Amino acid sequence: MSRHTFIVGCLLVAMALSGCQQACKKCPCSSGMPAGTVKLFNGKDLTGWETSGNAKWVVEGGLLIGTQGADNAPGDLFTSASYDDFLLTVTWRAEWPCNSGVWFRYQSPQKAYQADILEYKKPVAFSGTLYCPGKMFLAANEDKTLVNREGWNTLKIRAEGEHLQIWLNGHLTADVSDASSDSGKIGFQVHPGADFGPMKIVIKEMRLKAL
């Protein structure tokens, strides 16, 4: 190999490495998330969130935790911002008995959707069920084995126009068309009542990709 060829080769390698370094700063692999994905929960505090009601919401050990307030008081926690079309991924676990869920496209208690986290008897419905105020369950997950009652679960919620889908731990549990709400806040619910006094909803991660 001539000295000229060697020098040219070194320059090409250096240019390639520089290009890769610049590209990796922009590509999804650098953040571990697909391009355009944002974290709604920063793992530190409730920045970007607002409370409603008297439930208790705290951040401990990098986890968002919701429990009832005094005298089994309920409450909700919502994002300050509103969203329309998106793919939302939520990693959660619960201490049972629990009646909670992930609100989305929430405009008011009468205009919203919720991906439920619960165990309902009449009609039978488990976590991954799609609830809509005034319409009850738009789609019910009747398979309790899909839920990890002792550990972490993943809910994926896709809302695109009137098409609404929910996956629980990789299983499609809701796939419907509904026009009750086209945009709104994302949040969590703590249900009232002594029956749910021991409940705890724990959130580890929330990622949203706009569609």
pLDDT of residue 10: 44
Average pLDDT over residues 185-194: 97
CB contact at 8 A, 134 and 151: no
pLDDT of residue 29: 38
Judge if 125 and 203 occupy the same domain. Answer: yes
CB contact set of 137 (below 8 Å; sequence gap of 6+): 116, 123, 125, 129, 130, 131
- What pTM did the predictor assign? 0.83
Judge if 4 and 20 occupy the same domain. Answer: yes
CB contact at 8 A, 188 and 102: yes
Element housing 188 (H / E): strand 185-190
CB contact at 8 A, 58 and 52: no
- Select from 105, 141, 147, 149 the least CA-distant residue to 125: 141
Judge if 75 and 127 occupy the same domain. Answer: yes
Judge if 112 and 26 occupy the same domain. Answer: no
Q: What is the rounded CA–CA span in Å between residue 190 and residue 54? A: 9
Average pLDDT over residues 58-76: 98
pLDDT tens, 107-156?
999 999 999 999 999 999 999 999 999 999 999 999 999 999 999 999 99
Judge if 1 and 14 occupy the same domain. Answer: yes
pLDDT of residue 33: 66
pLDDT at 27 over 70: no
Judge if 124 and 139 occupy the same domain. Answer: yes
pLDDT of residue 110: 97
Domain that holds residue 191: 33-210
Share of the chain above pLDDT 90, in %: 83
- Tracing tokens 């610049």 back to the chain, one arrives at 22
At residue 97 the predicted structure's pLDDT band, cuts being 50, 70 and 90, is very high
Judge if 12 and 80 occupy the same domain. Answer: no
Residue 183: CB atoms within 10 Å: 14
Judge if 107 and 146 occupy the same domain. Answer: yes
pLDDT of residue 13: 40
CB contact at 8 A, 78 and 103: yes
Instruction: Give the domain CATH number at 188.
Output: 2.60.120.560
Mean pLDDT of the residues in the chain: 89
At residue 35 the predicted structure's pLDDT band, cuts being 50, 70 and 90, is confident
